[in-house]
Chain A
Amino acid sequence: MKTYKQINERIESGKAVVLTADEIIDYVDKKGLAAAAKEVDVVTTATFGPMCSSGCFLNFGHSKPKIRMSEALIQDVLVYTGIAAVDVYLGATQLRHGDPANMYYPGEFRYGGGHVIEDLIAGKSLQLFALSYGTDCYPLREIRTYFTLHDLNQAIMVNPRNCYQNYNVAINNSDRTIYTYMGRLEPNRKNANYCSAGQLSPLLNDPYYETIGVGTCVWLAGAHGHVYSEGTQHAGQCKRTPGGVPTGGAGTLALTADMKQMKKEFVRGVSFPGYGVSLALGVGIPIPILNEEILKRTCVRDRDIVAPVIDYSSDYPQNTGKTVCQVNYEQLRSGEIEIDGKKVQVGSLSSYYKALEIANLLADEIRRGDFQLVKPIAALSKDEAMKPLVKRKQT
Chain B
Amino acid sequence: MSETVTKKLMLYFPKCECEKPIIYHLVKDHNLVVNVFRAKVTPEEEGFLVLDVTGTEEQIQSGIDFVKTFNVTVNFTGKGVARDEAKCTHCGYCVPYCPTGALNITDGQTRQVAYDESKCIECLACVRVCPFGACTSAF
A and B associate: yes
Binding site for B on A (CB under 8 A): 48-50, 110, 183-184, 191, 193, 268-273, 280, 333, 335, 345-354, 356
The 6 closest A-B pairs by CB, nearest first: A353-B90, A345-B96, A270-B131, A351-B91, A352-B111, A347-B96
Check: B38 CB closer than 8 A to any chain A CB.
Answer: no
Q: A48-B89, A193-B93 are in contact. Are A353 and B112 (CB under 8 A)?
A: yes
Interface size class of B (residues with CB under 8 A): 20 to 34
Q: Which residues of A contact B110 (CB under 8 A)?
A: 352-353, 356
A298 to chain B, nearest CB (A): 18
A334 CA to B52 CA in the complex, in Å? 32
A337 to chain B, nearest CB (A): 11
A354 & B90 in contact (Cβ 8 Å cutoff): yes
A191 CA to B89 CA in the complex, in Å? 21
A347 & B131 in contact (Cβ 8 Å cutoff): no
Q: A333-B108, A333-B111, A353-B110 are in contact. Are A348 and B91 (CB under 8 A)?
A: yes
Choose from B92, B96, B128 the contact partner of A191 (Cβ within 8 Å).
B96
B129 & A350 in contact (Cβ 8 Å cutoff): no
B68-110 interface bits toward A, Cβ cutoff 8 Å, 1 = contact, 0 = none: 0000000000000000000001111111110000000100101
Check: B24 CB closer than 8 A to any chain A CB.
Answer: no
B131 & A349 in contact (Cβ 8 Å cutoff): yes
Check: B139 CB closer than 8 A to any chain A CB.
Answer: no
Q: Which residues of B contact A354 (CB under 8 A)?
A: 89-91
Q: Which residues of B contact A348 (CB under 8 A)?
A: 91-93
Q: A347-B94, A350-B91 are in contact. Are A271 and B129 (CB under 8 A)?
A: no
Check: B11 CB closer than 8 A to any chain A CB.
Answer: no
A273 & B90 in contact (Cβ 8 Å cutoff): no
B91 & A349 in contact (Cβ 8 Å cutoff): yes
Check: B10 CB closer than 8 A to any chain A CB.
Answer: no
Q: A280-B89, A353-B90 are in contact. Are A271 and B95 (CB under 8 A)?
A: no
